[in-house]
């Protein structure tokens, strides 16, 4: 799906909301983050591209006082994930059908996100499609802006070149810092805290691929 940073994406979304499911169709005027989060939660976390929702299923259980927003560009996956979460009785989550890069830039208040999770983002291996990657050259500013002072960004990929790009574009920001101790800590914390489990992780691990995991945090308090 062609979604990377394109303003036209929102006009192209064709999906119908199902009132019985925790899924919101962003359409051409998506709700803001504050309209999606009910009162009473300690913090807000976002997963970009949750696919079929394996990580959200674990995360909503592991961190019940956090409200989770899964931003998924593919309507069919968003609905599937919402069905799985509803069947499991989770109340601390909503799926939003939108382009996550746009949502972070124009619908997410500064300093509002406690953790941002991006697992196995589409690598767009063809050179002419590279501009569609979530971790493009300008994403670091958006990530830094939305993270709370103690907020963190967690990502994983099997694609060595893309892992290099993620480390480079985020690493060149003086306002984000990679934290390898945090990477080890969160991995050891178990399912749903960060990194795992996801459908693509299971598939790629079974194939023996090397999984690269990266954690970044803000390098200074909120401006
Ligand atoms: C390779 S799949 C990974 C799914 C899941 N994270 C996993 O690890 O199993 C990438 C997912 O990201 C979604 N996606 C791609 N670009 C996106 C964007 N800009 N905003 C939201 N979702 C996006 C795709 O529709 C797809 O479901």
DSSP characters for 122-142?
----SGGGGGG-SS-TTHHHH
Peptide bond into 197 cis (omega under 30): yes
Atom of ligand 1 lying closest to residue 200 CA: 9
CB 52 within 8 A of CB 81: yes
Q: How far is CA 193 from the centre of its chain?
A: 13
Residue 201 pLDDT greater than 60, yes or no: yes
- Write down the pLDDT at residue 2: 44
Among 49, 117, 125, the mutation site with the greatest number of ligand 1 atoms within 8 A of its Cβ is 49
- Encode pLDDT of 36-64 as tens digits: 999 999 999 999 999 999 999 999 999 99
Any idea which residue has 């954690």 for tokens? 215
DSSP characters for 27-91?
TTSPPPHHHHSPTT-SEEEEEE--TT-HHHHHHHHH-TTEEEEEEES-HHHHHHHHHHHHHTT--
What spatial distance separates the first Cα and last Cα of the chain, rounded to whole Å?
36
Residue 5 pLDDT greater than 60, yes or no: no
Ligand 1 geometric centre to CA of 134 (Å): 9
* Angstrom distance (rounded) from CA 156 to CA 167: 11
- Encode pLDDT of 160-197 as tens digits: 999 999 999 999 999 999 999 999 999 999 999 999 99
Sheet of 23-25: strands edge to edge?
23-25, 93-97, 66-72, 43-48, 113-119, 147-157, 212-218, 176-178
Give the residue from 214, 96, 223 showing the smallest Cα distance to 148: 223
Q: State pTM to two decimals.
A: 0.94
The set of protein residues with a Cβ atom below 6 angstroms from ligand 1 is 1, 3-4, 48-51, 71-74, 77, 99-101, 119-122, 134, 198-201
Ligand 1 geometric centre to CA of 158 (Å): 14
* 213 three-class SS: strand
């Amino acid at each position: 799906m062609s979604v990377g940073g394109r303003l036209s994406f929102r006009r192209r979304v064709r999906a119908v909301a199902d009132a019985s499911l925790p899924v919101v169709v962003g359409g051409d005027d998506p709700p803001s983050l504050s309209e999606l989060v009910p009162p009473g939660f300690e913090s807000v976390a976002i997963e970009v591209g949750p696919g079929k929702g394996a990580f959200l299923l674990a995360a909503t259980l592991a961190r019940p006082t956090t409200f989770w927003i899964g931003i998924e560009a593919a309507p069919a996956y968003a609905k599937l994930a919402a069905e799985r979460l509803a069947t499991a009785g989770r109340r601390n989550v909503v799926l939003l059908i939108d382009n996550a890069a746009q949502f972070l830039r124009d619908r997410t208040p500064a300093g509002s996100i406690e953790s941002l999770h991006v697992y196995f983002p589409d690598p767009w291996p063809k050179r002419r499609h590279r501009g569609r990657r979530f971790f493009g050259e300008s994403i670091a500013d958006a990530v830094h802006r939305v993270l709370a002072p103690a907020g963190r960004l967690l990502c994983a990929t099997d694609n060595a070149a893309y892992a290099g790009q993620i480390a480079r574009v985020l690493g060149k920001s003086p306002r984000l810092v990679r934290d390898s101790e945090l990477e080890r800590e969160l991995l050891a914390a178990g399912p749903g805290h960060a990194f795992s489990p996801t459908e693509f992780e299971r598939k790629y691990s079974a194939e023996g691929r090397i999984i690269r995991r990266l954690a970044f945090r803000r390098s200074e308090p909120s401006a």
